[in-house]
Amino acid sequence: MKTKNKKGNVHIDWVISISIFLTYIIILLAFIKPSYKPSFEGDVLVNLVKKNFDEKIEWQVKKNLLSFRCETKGVANVDLKNYIPDIGKYKVLLKDGKTKARYKGSLIDLMNDDYDFWIIHNEFFGYNLDDNGLEDDGGADPKDCEISAANPIIFRGINADKLNLVDLKIDEWNFPQFRQFKITVLDVDGSLKDNRYCFAKGLMNSNECLLAEPPLDVVVYGVNLGDAILDKDGNFEQVILNIQVW
């Protein structure tokens, strides 16, 4: 009586199954891999450029409401740092937010029942001060006044004076060595904001940057992002950041 070698048959079936599986994987990779492009790659590179750009050019302008509750009139001598510790460079406006108050150094004029003031301040740029006749050593200590400063309104935006290659320090951005990027600042109509406002990795001036174009045979990821230039008075000017990476 003959017996069948079932163990050998199982072994052969296993080899055939593995061969079919490996053949399927090879075919799958052959058809899929050449066309595979990581969809997240462009977002990662664009976000890296935007993050570095913001760290170099963004700044803050703050606006505090300073209030006096008293019957004092005339010029008050007030150390503003006691109420706004981070005051830095500043100017004083009346409560309407437009009219410049009479002030000089620590002196603020409380004439005409003006007891509420806006303090506009930043840490970088000073403000022009008119000669308003106030004396630095004059003014009364308003001991009978209750003085308070509200929490600041904070404005954030692009500091136009930092839009240069020296402050941007593009070579220190830790951008991938074999990848490239280009940033241009545009007006809201899509035109170039200023010939100086073009920046690209490895290029030392804006003229080179404006002429730089990605090769025709590479994939380019590009976005237009809304942003705003902020001046020291807290005014915004809308712009568009065009970012290309390849």
Q: Would you mind telling me the total number of residues written for the chain in this entry?
A: 246
Type of residue at 219? V
What pLDDT sits at residue 9?
59
Residues 6+ apart with CB under 8 A from 241: 50, 53, 183, 184, 185, 186, 224, 225, 226, 227
> Residues in the chain with pLDDT < 70?
1-11, 13-16, 25-39, 136-140
What pLDDT sits at residue 36?
47
- Side-chain-side CA neighbours of 7 within 13 Å: the count stands at 0
pTM tops 0.85, yes or no = no
- State how far the Cα of 194 lies from the Cα of 20, in Å rounded to an integer: 63
**Which pLDDT tens digit goes with each residue over 142-200?**
777 899 999 999 999 999 999 999 999 998 998 998 999 999 999 999 999 999 999 99
Q: What is the pairing mode between strands 89-94 and 116-122?
A: antiparallel
Q: Read off the tokens for 102.
A: 């009479």
Tell me the backbone φ, ψ of residue 228, rounded to 5 degrees: -150, 140
DSSP 98-138: SSBP-EETTEEE-GGG--EEEEEEESS-----------TT-
